[in-house]
Structure 1
Amino acid sequence: MQLASKWKKKRDASHPKFLIPQWRGCAGGFGNGDARERPSPRQNHKLSSLSSRCQWINHIGASFQLPNGTRVRNSPPRLRIFCLRDPKALVVTGKLWDKLILKSEIPVLVEFYASWCALCIMVHRVIDEIATEYDGRLKCFLLQADNDLQVAENYDIKAVPVVLLFKNGEKCKSVVGTMPKEFYVAAIEKVMAS
């Protein structure tokens, strides 16, 4: 699809700046090249083509033009993208904390995270790799700090992500923030050697 080389700015009372692409006919795109014949995003389930079907985009949502010419705001609902990876670190809750963490016979790594935290997702990947490498020698868990505030308060968790290492039910080491995998591995080796 070809877009005009310039973007027009449109003013709206609630949102001061919108960028509107000027559509031109598309060879091999929709219909006979007439921009008015674009199908609705609902008719195409390909995620990659969704952006080419938006008439205008803002920081809240998008406006889509239906085949009959009516404009629908914020429709379809926001897309949610789920990662299909198989996590190795299990989710623990406050109810199972004593049983899985404090009474464990082998060292335990717990990542405190929040669902809204982008850095936590990066740490999840590292923790999953560590869980695979140390399988049988180290248990790895994730705890959502927003849902289990009491556990987070007990361990003085003020920000996320935080990784705590436990051995024999006692907290041995804490790592605050996002660190390289080698940093976590060094902390784990130190706890296992003690």
Structure 2
Amino acid sequence: MALENCLQVSTVTTTRAGVLHCCHPLSSKDKLNFPNHTGLKKPILTFSLPTPSFHSSGGTYQKSRIICKAKAVNEVQVVTDSNWNNLVIANESPVLVEFWAPWCGPCRMIAPIIDELAKEYAGKIACYKLNTDESPNTATQYGIRSIPTVLFFKNGEKKESVIGAVPKSTLSTTIEKYVDA
């Protein structure tokens, strides 16, 4: 996903009382410079934006803030009983949900495959995982009796299920059925 789709930078002018006076997005001509960090397992984005500060008798100042508008769609997200309807049922794109538990050996075997598929099909399919120990109601609702179980949804409707630690090709073939070309 392009960085410009993820970040919205805005300048906010406030008073000492913290009242918001104005907010306008950074223009597309402005550039953000992110330093490169090496030697870390996960990348870290740290940066500062040079924004002019000013002080007047009214005590106002200007500052910049970063708001990430887009979700990281290239990784598996966690879904629970409480957010199931919003993330899975109301999702307009096809959805893959892995039902798993931390104590399940085959679940740990299939987890890296689900992670790879989330990256490969980023923007085409949403990938979630539901811990059956922490969210038993949804697992019961869908009749999950064996884990890992992967369910496929399209337009909020359950389409297909795959039970067990299957090869990546099996899951890819199933995803291809529901991804619009």
TM-score, length of structure 2 as denominator length: 0.58
1:152 aligns with 2:135: no
1:99 aligns with 2:86: yes
Say which one has the larger Rg. Answer: 1
> Which segments of 5 or more consecutive residues in structure 2 lack a partner in the other structure?
1-40, 44-73
1:121 aligns with 2:113: no
Out of 145, 149, 152, which is 1:162 matched to?
Answer: 149
In the TM superposition, residue 193 of structure 1 has moved relative to its aligned partner by 5.3
Q: What's 1:179 paired with?
A: 166
In the TM superposition, residue 122 of structure 1 has moved relative to its aligned partner by 1.3
In the TM superposition, residue 190 of structure 1 has moved relative to its aligned partner by 1.2
Distance 1:178 1:88 in 2: 19
1:192 aligns with 2:179: yes
In the TM superposition, residue 150 of structure 1 has moved relative to its aligned partner by 0.7
> Which segments of 5 or more consecutive residues in structure 1 lack a partner in the other structure?
1-83
Distance 1:127 1:167 in 2: 18
1:141 aligns with 2:128: yes
Q: How does 1:21-170 map to 2 (within 5 A)?
A: 88-170=75-157
Percent same amino acid among aligned pairs?
Answer: 42
In the TM superposition, residue 144 of structure 1 has moved relative to its aligned partner by 0.3
- What are the Cα deviations for residues 74-107 of structure 1, in whole angstroms up to 9, with x where unaligned? xxxxxxxxxx789920111110000000000100
Q: What's 1:77 paired with?
A: none
Moved over 6 A (4+): 84-87
Give the AA of the match of 1:154: Q
Q: What's 2:69 paired with?
A: none
Gap change, CA 1:159 and 1:192, over 3 Å in 2:
same
In the TM superposition, residue 192 of structure 1 has moved relative to its aligned partner by 2.4
- Compare the two structures and name the one with the higher strand fraction: 2
Higher relative contact order (CA 8 A, sep 6+): 2
In the TM superposition, residue 154 of structure 1 has moved relative to its aligned partner by 0.6
Distance 2:86 2:108 in 1: 26
Counterpart contact for 1:173–1:191, Cα < 8 Å: no
